């Protein structure tokens, strides 16, 4: 079985923002998953950062979708 390399394409501590990015990637048929990790010592110990992970070969397309979303949300 071939093992694929997963990379983080988006991080946030806001679950709603993570869910929005995840759904945009789902719409583009880009397989993705969400991982939690504790943030660094500069934040509260209970704070977690959520990461959207995709396969390495989908990274470029995922970044294009995320960039378009971020530009659209900045213009509102």
For residues 21 and 10, the answer to whether their CB atoms sit within 8 Å is yes
Tokens encoding 42 = 């500069």
Q: Where are the domains of the chain?
A: 6-34+46-73
Q: May I ask the CATH architecture of the domain 6-34+46-73?
A: 2-Layer Sandwich (3.30)
- Number of C-beta neighbours around residue 58 at 10 A: 20
- Residue 15 CA to residue 35 CA, distance in Å, equals 11
Mean pLDDT of the chain: 87
Span 33-64, pLDDT tens digits: 999 876 555 555 556 789 999 999 999 999 99
Q: What pLDDT was estimated at residue 75?
A: 85
Span 12-34, pLDDT tens digits: 989 999 999 999 999 999 999 99
Q: What pLDDT was estimated at residue 58?
A: 97
Q: Exposed (0-12), middle (13-18) or buried (19+): which is 14, by Cβ within 10 Å? A: exposed
């Amino acid at each position: 079985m071939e093992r694929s390399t997963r990379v983080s394409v988006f991080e946030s501590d806001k679950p709603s923002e993570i869910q929005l990015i995840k759904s945009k990637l789902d719409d583009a048929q880009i397989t993705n998953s969400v991982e939690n990790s504790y943030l660094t010592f500069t934040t509260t110990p209970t704070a977690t950062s959520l990461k959207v992970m995709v396969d390495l070969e989908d990274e470029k397309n995922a970044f294009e979708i995320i960039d378009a979303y971020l530009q659209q949300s900045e213009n509102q």
